[in-house]
Amino acid sequence: MEHTGLLRRRVAANAMASKLMKLLTIISLLTLLIIGVGLYYKSTAILGEHSLWSLLTGKEWSPLSGQFGFRPFIVSSVYVTVLSVAIALPVALLTALFLTENAKPWITKVVFPILDILAGIPSVVYGLWGTLIIVPWIADSFGPLFVDYTSGYTLLAGGIVLSVMIIPLLVSLFIELFSAVPKDFKDASASLGATRWQTSRLVVVRKASPGIIAAVVLAISKAFGETLAVLMVCGNMVGIPHSLFDSAYPLPALIANNYGEMLSLPKYESALMFASLLMFVIILIFNAISRVVLQKVEQKFKL
Partner 1 sequence: MFATPSILRMFAHPAGSAAAGTTSTGKPPVLKVGKKPGSEIKVSNLNVSIGNNHILKNIDLEIPNNKITCIIGPSGCGKSTLLKTINRLIDDSEKVKVNGEIIIDGENIYGKRVEVTHIRRKMGLLSQRPIPLPMSIFDNITFGCKLHGVRNKKQLKQIVEENLRAAGLWDEVKDRLHAPASSLSIGQQQRLCLARGLAIKPQFILGDESTSALDPISSRHIENLFVKLKEKYGVVLVTHTLRQALRIADYVVFIYLGEVVESGPAKELFNAPKHELTKQYLSGVFS
List residues binding partner 1 (CB under 8 A).
Answer: 105, 182-195, 198, 202-203, 206-207, 300-303
Residue 183 CB, shortest distance to partner 1, in Å, is 8
Residue 165 or 204 having the CB closest to partner 1:
204
d(CA 140, CA 118): 27
Closest by CA to 230, choosing from 141, 126, 138, 83, is 126
Residue 203 CB, shortest distance to partner 1, in Å, is 6
3-state secondary structure 227-282: CHHHHHHCECCCCCCCCCCCCECCHHHHHHHHCCCCCCCCCHHHHHHHHHHHHHHH
Residue 153 CB, shortest distance to partner 1, in Å, is 45
Residue 141 or 198 having the CB closest to partner 1:
198
Q: How far apart are the first and last CA of the chain?
A: 51
Torsion sign over Cα 230, 232, 235, 237 = positive
Residue 13 or 202 having the CB closest to partner 1:
202
Residue 196 or 267 having the CB closest to partner 1:
196
Residue 200 CB, shortest distance to partner 1, in Å, is 13
Residue 107 CB, shortest distance to partner 1, in Å, is 13
Residue 210 or 250 having the CB closest to partner 1:
210
d(CA 98, CA 94): 6
Residue 104 CB, shortest distance to partner 1, in Å, is 9
Residue 140 or 298 having the CB closest to partner 1:
298
d(CA 162, CA 35): 26
